[in-house]
Amino acid sequence: MGDEQKRKFQPSLVERAGLSAFNFINKLVPWYKLPGFIGAFNLAFLRISLRNYNLFDGYADPSAQGSVGDALEDERFRNARNSDGKYNSLELPLMGCAGMRFGHNFPRENCPKPTEEELWTPNPRAISEKFMVRKSFIPATTLNLLAAAWIQFQTHDWFNHETEEENFHIPLPAGDKWTDKTMQLPKTKPDETLHPSDLKCPGYKNMNTSWWDASQIYGSSEKVTASLRTKLPDGKLTLNENGTGAFIPRDHDGNPLTGFHNNWWVGMEMLHTLFALEHNALCDMLRQTYPNWTGDQIFDKARLVNCALMAKIHTVEWTPAILAHPALEIGMNANWWGIVGENLTKLVGRVSKTSEIISGIPGSGVDHDGVPYSLTEEFVSVYRMHSLIPDLPDDIAFFDAKQGKHQTTTPIGDLAFKGASKPLDAGLSFSDLFYSFGINYPGAITNNNYPDFLRDFTDPDGVHRDMGTVDLLRDRERGVPRYCEFRRLLRLSVPTTFEEITGKSNPTLAKQLSEAYGGDVTKVDALVGSHSEPVIPGFGFSETAFRVFILMASRRLKSDRFIAGQWNTETYTKEGFHWVQHTTMKDVLIRHFPELEPTLRKSKNAFAPWAQMEESKKYKGKETNAPSKK
């Protein structure tokens, strides 16, 4: 299986020299203990190493991605995004589009389909009961609940596996208190066998596009996108802009009419509404500036700008909030602006035509690092962040956005699916919701911090499941390596004892892991191991997960023709390009909900806890997880 996946990416002479230098330095000092700028350069060279060793196509035959000879079906999409993701690459027109396979960060021979024994050993439900149960809410005090909602909003854009009708019947351990006789879960549907290697390592399709194209709002097909637009030639998305209740329209069954509405809750209601409003505001700006444009022209440019803005917000605002480390803040800003910085880039544009280090990835030129672009199974794995969600007894406290007075506290389970608009129907405004999310804490990404309602969860189709068990089973099913192998393939130190996973300060956890995994450290699941390892100061999740993140975070930008390639005023318009470069998450919130301006003016990062009004500080009820005075 290895020959068909030989790497084409080769670091330059300068890059190899830098890699050698930092490999030597890191034997003495890890990157996160280096001074900020040196640590950021260390990360840049670490990313080069990851590009060299940790990108693998989901297909044995590259022709599966299409070829240059495939005609562009509509010239409109030469300078606009196609909702199904086709023709983002004109050379590989199917690359990254809906229905293409996930890739891997490891060679496919290291990601085989598990045997029955490997799938069920140790029992995933027993592991969930041991390491997922939330004994008491552990807050992430450097973040707010908006940060938790944001990452789900983004992952709904990035990935969605196809399932089949056949179910797993998950065996329950002796004495389990699960209320049903069995726990069932639809199996992930494997793609058809296109090569003998697919029998050992099946491919799985991504039913969303893999691009940063806001498919959660616009849909992953042109048919869906057309159904979400107004009937007028204004380029807008259909919204109920009456100032009360939900803005996102519903179908006759009460489902939100948007690009992706799975796992809907009030957090999705808020962010889908916010960026649908942002799209429509862009349409108004473009109509005023270009009065003779068609509705399609306005829509296409508004979508380009809106997508790029979300990518920028995630890169330079959300990421430094959840990975609050000086080297990361410098590095993520450099991903977008380059080391010359934001101010100079805004003033004069790119200083270097092609260097992503000097002038950032946008506009540096498209490069797939020798492997056709896709998101990966391991990328899906490291974004399993259900622990961010609060629940009983730490439900969501809602406050008035003008004076900060407590209004109500609602169980999060009541705010899911058709209950997502419940606070709005009860008279709260979107400003109230965003202020409340801004001052409430999410959960920490660690062991024993899964929300109870997700461990006893029934979806609208009546499927009853424990999401902790589901997360473990999905990784095993899709060939994601266990924790020790995961680290070995990332060229990280590989634990040989449970104490090496947890660190010397947590012998109790090491003992629990040993008991649960039968004394075999190699069987520890990637998710459990990542939740068990000591965290780098300021980090919201493990370094193991972070290695995949720093590779794929830049790849989503570097492979995208509309970000790394056609990053100019001709593609975006002068006004649209300025909109992206000069807008922050705080600006978006204030534009649509001006009542938030006094609070946000005092808050540095929209995804870190916001400044609280005095009335909110006074509230000491037991049911809130909002920050108090102390």
List helix spans (H) across 414-525: 422-425, 430-439, 467-477, 483-489, 498-502, 507-516
Give the DSSP per-residue string, 66-128: --TTSPPS-GGGGSS--TT-TTSSSSSTTTT-TTEEPBBSS-GGGSPPPPHHHHHSS-HHHHH
| CA nearest neighbour of 148 among 615, 524, 607, 611 | 607
Kind plus residue range of the DSSP H or E element containing 168 = strand 163-170
Q: Are strands 205-206 and 100-101 parallel, antiparallel or unpaired?
A: antiparallel
CA–CA separation, 465 vs 152, rounded Å? 19
CA–CA separation, 203 vs 201, rounded Å? 7
156 is catalytic: yes
CA–CA separation, 423 vs 408, rounded Å? 9
Beta-bridge partner residues of 103: 376
Q: Give the Å distances, CA to CA, from 269 to 17, 220, 245, 302.
A: 49, 19, 11, 21
| Sign of the CA dihedral running 472, 475, 479, 482 | negative
Q: Which of 156, 279, 368, 531 is catalytic?
A: 156
CA–CA separation, 596 vs 582, rounded Å? 19
CA–CA separation, 112 vs 608, rounded Å? 40
Q: Which residues contact 233 (CB under 8 A, 6 or more apart)?
A: 294, 295
17: number of Cβ within 10 Å: 12
CA–CA separation, 200 vs 209, rounded Å? 25
Beta-bridge partner residues of 167: 186
Task: Give ∠ CA 626-457-133 in degrees, rounded to 5.
Answer: 60
Phi, psi values for residue 169, rounded to 5°: -110, 95
45, 22 in Cβ contact below 8 A? yes
| Sign of the CA dihedral running 173, 474, 470, 486 | positive
366, 583 in Cβ contact below 8 A? no
| CA nearest neighbour of 51 among 530, 484, 547 | 547
CA–CA separation, 247 vs 225, rounded Å? 17
* Token duo for residue 468: 């902790």
List helix spans (H) across 402-466: 422-425, 430-439
N- to C-terminal Cα separation, the chain: 58
Q: Which of the residues are catalytic?
A: 156
